[in-house]
């Protein structure tokens, strides 16, 4: 029997049938008139998800990492200084990418489980009176630790010293699942991908770029070809791509936007908060701790959960997969062996999340964790029962 179980990894996420069908189209001529009219409304719709009126949407056939590379190479020059805080695997990888591009990376080391340190950014920016720092890079949702950072606080920290640096935000695992306010937060480039909140196959890096970041292209000297913003914008202006477009993903994106807008973005966000809260109630009932250090940091798309002393989180995720055919996120980087992750984003309902909680509970009981079988599930059930008035439909 094929594995019909949902995945509980924090992306790629479960692909609803509606989106699988939308992507399952035969090859078409990407220069034909019917296709060239497809792209513009997709780009326009995507802007709404970023919360932007003034931003320019730019996509590339790539994963989120390609989006990072595009952000950096189109706006910066070798030796330019960027300011980044490291508080998880993805902020770490973004730092690595910048270093490999010959940037001068000023790193603020933070405990994993904490978020973007707006106060330390403020200090570093105030001290940079020569305005050497060209960009501040922030991971909105650190998928390795289940931490959501306060981007508006970072913007305030930048404004406090009137610093002209650009603000780049990784929203790979938050966009289309948690509120994002590109314009209000004064973001200059936001980077996301198709395989998380948009519930699509992996393969499309999705960026929103401010007029200020677009202006930076003129002086940016890092080499770029495939990821050249200007080439992409020029080609997009007439509905095309500078190379062969990922046609199936663009059709998928069109349908994904339809789904998100039909549910309503606020409802999408509320559903994610609700699912996350159910997982958090279960975690508390098991007597386990989240990696995220305090409630204001809790992510609504992924929970990273410490296993008790003496247990190995990799053995738990392996066992859940081998015994029950269900995937959970492994602990990444510093969290390897210490924490497992439950992804609760994308096309999921209360009932699907309950199945994940029941599964990990069985796996924990099999491995003699000090938990009561059913405790987490019933805590989540009580929470999901409360306030429910209409049945939740699957996508
Ligand atoms: N940033 C964050 C927060 C992520 O969660 C991921 C992937 O999980 C990435 C960046 C890298 O994206 P990709 O794997 O699509 O290249």
Q: Domain 18-261 is in which class?
A: alpha beta
Annotated binding-site residues read 341
Beta-bridge partner residues of 304: 341
Percent over 70 (pLDDT), the chain: 97
Q: How confident is the model at residue 36 (pLDDT cuts 50, 70, 90)?
A: confident
| The pLDDT of residue 275 | 98
The pLDDT, as a whole number, for residue 346 is 98
**pLDDT tens column, 38-76:** 999 999 999 999 999 999 999 999 999 999 999 999 999
Quote the ligand 1 centre to 202 CA distance (angstroms): 10
Report field, pTM of the whole predicted structure over 0.90: yes
Instruction: Read off the pLDDT of residues 96-140 as tens digits, 9 standing for 90 and up.
Output: 999 999 999 999 999 999 999 999 999 999 999 999 999 999 999
Categorize the per-residue pLDDT at 393 as very low, low, confident or very high, splitting at 50, 70 and 90.
low
Alpha-carbon dihedral 142, 143, 145, 151, rounded to 10 degrees: 20
Spacing, Cα 177 to ligand 1 middle (Å): 15
pLDDT score, position 33: 86
Pocket test for ligand 1, best of 7, 59, 137, 143 (most atoms within 8 A of CB): 143
Average of per-residue pLDDT across 265-290: 98
- The answer to whether the CB of 197 is under 6 A from ligand 1 is no
Distance CA 302, CA 10 (A): 6
Q: What digits encode the pLDDT tens for the residues 193-208?
A: 999 999 999 999 999 9
Number of other CB atoms surrounding residue 205 within 10 Å: 25
Q: Which CATH class, in words, describes the domain spanning 264-385?
A: alpha beta
Distance CA(221)–CA(228), nearest Å, equals 12
Query: Could you tell me how far CA 18 lies from the centroid of its own chain?
Result: 22
Average pLDDT value for the chain: 96
Atom of ligand 1 nearest to the CA of 68: 10
> Of all atoms in ligand 1, which is nearest to the CA of residue 142?
3
Q: What is the mean pLDDT of residues 143-150?
A: 98
Residue 390 confidence (pLDDT): 57
Checking if the pLDDT of 395 tops 60, the result is no
Q: How confident is the model at residue 339 (pLDDT cuts 50, 70, 90)?
A: very high
- Please tell me if the CB atom of residue 378 comes closer than 6 angstroms to any atom of ligand 1: no
- What residues does each domain of the chain span? 18-261, 264-385
> 30: closest CA among 237, 245, 269?
245
Q: What is the mean pLDDT of residues 82-102?
A: 98
Q: How far apart are CA 362 and CA 372, in angstroms?
A: 10
Which ligand 1 atom is the nearest neighbour of the CA of 143? 5
* Distance from residue 173's CA to the centre of ligand 1 (Å): 7
State percent of the chain over pLDDT 90.
94
Q: Which atom of ligand 1 is nearest to the CA of 171?
A: 3
ipTM of the complex: 0.99
CB of 299 closer than 6 angstroms to any ligand 1 atom = no
Give the 3-state DSSP-derived string for the chain, with helices as H, strands as E and coil as C. Answer: CCCCCCCECCCCCCCCHHHHHHHCCCCCCCCCHHHHCCHHHHHHHHHHHHCCCCCEEEEECCCHHHHHHHHHHHHCCCCCEEEEEECCHHHHHHHHHHHHCCCEEEEEECCECECCCHHHHHHHHHHCCCCCEEEEEEECEECCCCEECCHHHHHHHHHHCCCCCEEEEECCCCCCCCCCCCCCCCCCEEEEECCCCCCCCCCCEEEEECHHHHHHCCCCCCCCCCCCHHHHHHHHHCCCCCCCCCHHHHHHHHHHHHHHHHHCHHHHHHHHHHHHHHHHHHHHHHCCCECCCCHHHECCCEEEEECCCCCCHHHHHHHHHHHHCCCEECCCHHHCCCEEEEECCCCCCHHHHHHHHHHHHHHHHHCCCCCCCCHHHHHHHHHHHCCCCCCCCCC
Report the 10 Å Cβ neighbour count for 244: 9
Contact 352, 395 (CB under 8 A): no
389 has a pLDDT exceeding 60: no
Tokens of 52: 């932007």
Q: What is the pLDDT of residue 35?
A: 83
């Amino acid at each position: 029997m094929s594995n019909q179980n949902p995945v509980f990894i924090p992306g790629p996420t479960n692909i609803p049938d509606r989106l699988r069908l939308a992507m399952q189209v035969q090859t078409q001529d990407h220069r034909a008139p019917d296709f060239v009219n497809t792209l513009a409304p997709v780009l326009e719709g995507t802007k709404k998800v970023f919360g932007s009126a003034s931003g320019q949407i730019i996509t590339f056939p790539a994963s989120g990492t390609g989006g990072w590379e595009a952000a950096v190479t189109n706006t910066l020059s070798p030796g330019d200084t960027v300011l980044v805080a490291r508080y998880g695997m993805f902020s770490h990888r973004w730092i690595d990418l910048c270093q490999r591009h010959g940037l001068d990376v000023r790193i603020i080391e933070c405990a994993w489980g904490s978020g973007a340190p707006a106060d330390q950014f403020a200090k570093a920016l105030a001290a940079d009176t020569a305005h050497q720092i060209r960009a501040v890079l922030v991971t909105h949702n650190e998928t390795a630790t289940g931490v959501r950072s306060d981007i508006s606080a970072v913007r305030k920290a930048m404004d406090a010293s009137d610093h002209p640096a650009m603000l780049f935000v990784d929203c790979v695992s938050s966009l289309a699942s948690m509120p994002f306010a590109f314009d209000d937060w004064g973001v200059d480039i936001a980077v996301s991908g198709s395989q998380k909140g948009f519930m699509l196959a992996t393969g499309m890096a999705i960026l929103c770029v401010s007029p200020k970041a677009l202006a930076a292209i003129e002086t940016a000297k890092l080499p770029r070809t495939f990821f050249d913003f200007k080439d992409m914008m020029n080609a997009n202006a007439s509905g095309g791509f500078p190379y062969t477009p990922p046609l199936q993903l663009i059709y998928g994106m069109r349908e994904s936007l339809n789904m998100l807008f039909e549910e309503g973005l606020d409802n999408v966000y509320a559903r994610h908060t609700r699912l996350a809260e159910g997982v958090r109630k279960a975690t508390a009932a098991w007597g386990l701790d989240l990696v995220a250090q305090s409630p204001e940091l809790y992510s609504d798309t992924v929970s990273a959960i410490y296993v008790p002393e003496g247990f190995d989180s990799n053995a738990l995720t392996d066992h859940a997969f081998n015994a029950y055919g269900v995937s959970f996120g492994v602990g990444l980087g510093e969290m390897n062996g210490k924490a497992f992750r439950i992804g609760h984003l994308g096309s999921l309902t209360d009932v699907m999340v309950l199945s994940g909680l029941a599964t990990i509970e069985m796996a924990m009981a099999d491995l003699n964790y000090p938990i009561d079988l059913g405790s987490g599930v019933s805590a989540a059930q009580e929470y999901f029962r409360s306030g429910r008035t209409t049945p939740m439909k699957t996508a």
